[in-house]
Structure 1
């Protein structure tokens, strides 16, 4: 298998995994917004509406990521989204907010916070906007 074909296959797998993750998160934001409201920082205005909007953005981003004409925009949007929701992850950790099915210890929060930049890269890589750390050979 050529390197370019292997890279395309890896991107496709990662793209579908990310799309599934964001589709599930979007559905969760719409179906059960209460846990997300608990971790929303106080500086966010109109928090219930923001949670609704973030759920819709996650769903739209997941569909767009697997739709070739929209893929690049989806990668940019999902990368920006991951940066924008990072403060909620910090609030969740710092305030030790206990949510069902999620740990409230730093054994959960430490890796979760450290993984957020990986989500940014993952969105950009899946959309074909970056090659790092795997460079295509000329």
Structure 2
């Protein structure tokens, strides 16, 4: 049986990925303008998050999933920086929340690394 925190991370990524399809416009808004086709990126990243979340729940695929999650989290860093720099992309979140999201990415990367 997997540890509870591995189930939690897998479930969080399943929910996060599904949310890309519930509220795609929000995700499209936070993608930096130098990335092409935000709509496609939102769909692809949502599918990837859900796939990796499910794969993390299987001992046979957890290592691939963990590395995939780490890769996604690294790829999402420009989005977090863009949200700090662009008022429209910030979603009216307080600056301290946007700043806090950067070290949170590192914590999530570490959490995923536990399953490699």
TM-score normalised over the length of structure 2: 0.91
Q: Which runs of 5+ in 2 are unaligned?
A: none
Equivalences, count: 115
Matched, 1:124 2:109: no
CA distance in 2, matches of 1:98, 1:92: 4
Say whether the 8 Å CA contact 1:93–1:104 is kept in structure 2: no
Partner of 1:6: none
Map 1:6-85 → 2, pairs under 5 A: 12-85=3-76
Say whether the 8 Å CA contact 1:61–1:74 is kept in structure 2: yes
After superposition, give the CA deviation of every residue in 1:5-63 in whole Å (9 maximum; x if it has no partner).
Answer: xxxx8x71221111121111111101211011111011211211110000000100100
Larger radius of gyration: 1
Partner of 2:79: 88
Distance apart, 1:107 and its partner CA? 2.0
**Aligned-residue RMSD, C-alpha:** 1.6
Q: Which runs of 5+ in 1 are unaligned?
A: 1-8, 130-138
After superposition, give the CA deviation of every residue in 1:62-96 in whole Å (9 maximum; x if it has no partner).
Answer: 00001111000000000010000111111112213
CA distance in 2, matches of 1:120, 1:61: 13
Q: Following superposition, which runs of at least 4 residues in structure 1 exceed 3 angstroms of deviation?
A: none
